[in-house]
Amino acid sequence: MSGRRTRGDASNAGDAAMTQALDRRALLGGASAAAVMALLRSSYAASLAPAGAAGGATRLPGGLDAASKRAFSANQTITTLVQDRLYRVGCVVRAERLSWLPADLDGYEPLNAYVVTDPDHCVFVEPGMRILLPALQSAIETLVGNRKVWVNFTRNEADCIGNMGYLFGTCPDPTLLFGGAGGILEWINDPAVSILEVRDFLGRIPIVEAKNGTARELGALRFRWMDAGFKQMLITQWAFEASTGCLFTSDAMGYRHLAQVDAPPVVEDTRHLLAVETVTAEIAQRMNWMRESDYPEVIERFESVFRDHDVQMIAPIHGCVLRGRDVVAAHVRLVSKALRAASKVADSERMRYA
């Protein structure tokens, strides 16, 4: 995908009408959290394909037909990233419906959770958004088995831990790997899980420390946690798993999107890199404190992560997975340039009230 913003297959009249009807810029501004969630739930329900619809037999339980023009969420899938070791679990949504992206970005955005396994352990890294629950349910059914279940997350936001309650209420004897990344009790009362399963959370779910600067071996898996290379939310971690070379980067490094709803959510070559200006626009939209700021220590911290670890894959919660040492290196160089450029972006909020 080039630096030019692409429309994908969303240029037909039906999609355009739907875009206007559900444009986040018109509907989400000033809305309460309850109103936003009601909108998302109604959009999701309206997009469900009828029972027995073409292609329905091949999608995951509860998932949506990828060809549906009204699908808020499509391609509920499990993608093998490293055989028998690492999996991407998630779905795809329209980029224009996501408030953390620039308003003029078209195409589609993968939403991701991850599962890391060895013969005895199953680690859910980022339980993910509620909207990818069908894929997560399938991952639980197919990957857990008799393995010990662990849950880890990078920040206390719904896009990372929206399914935490479901995991705790349905997986056998789960343990939380907790790095101190914010309060979590508000996320465990999952409506699909009996309140009796989660009421006494702190007394029933074991918690193991996973602070920044610490490491832990879980069988063949080797995790290390660190302060995020760059971030919006103050207490945000990144996690590195050495046996796969995978760096889990929370809401950063997810700048590769999809032109088509059914395109692979993994980037494996260095062709069609995004323009620096495109990545800069996304950084400035998501990390708004960077505009008109000076932050050399943040850039140094970001670059040091990749000097200190053999990163072979980058796994964000939004956007495509970046796989391969050459792909990682190319995107690190790109983001380093974009971080420097983001400091020169005009602060629209300041200008509005100046």
Residues 92 and 283: their CA atoms lie apart, in Å, by: 21
Query: DSSP assignment, residue 144?
Result: I
Sign of the dihedral defined by the CA atoms of residues 135, 136, 141, 143, in that order? positive
- pTM for this prediction: 0.77
How is the chain split into domains, by residue range? 14-24+38-46+59-353
Q: What is the mean pLDDT of residues 245-268?
A: 94
- What does DSSP say about strands 108-117 and 121-125: parallel, antiparallel, or unpaired? antiparallel
| Average pLDDT over all residues of the chain | 78
Question: Is 24 a residue whose pLDDT tops 60?
Answer: no
Query: DSSP assignment, residue 70?
Result: T
**Phi, psi for residue 187 in degrees, rounded to 5:** -100, -5
**pLDDT bracket for residue 315 (50, 70, 90):** very high
Domain 14-24+38-46+59-353's class? alpha beta
3-class secondary structure, 76: strand
Q: What is the mean pLDDT of residues 328-332?
A: 97
> Which has more pLDDT, 200 or 308?
308
Give the pLDDT confidence score for residue 206 in this predicted structure: 83
Question: Is 204 a residue whose pLDDT tops 80?
Answer: no
User: Of 173-182, 248-257, 287-296, 322-331, where does mean pLDDT reach its minimum?
Assistant: 173-182
Residues 6 or more apart whose Cβ sits within 8 Å of residue 89: 77, 78, 79, 112, 113, 114, 115, 128, 132, 135, 136, 138, 139
**pLDDT bracket for residue 57 (50, 70, 90):** very low
User: First and final CA of the chain: distance in angstroms?
Assistant: 38
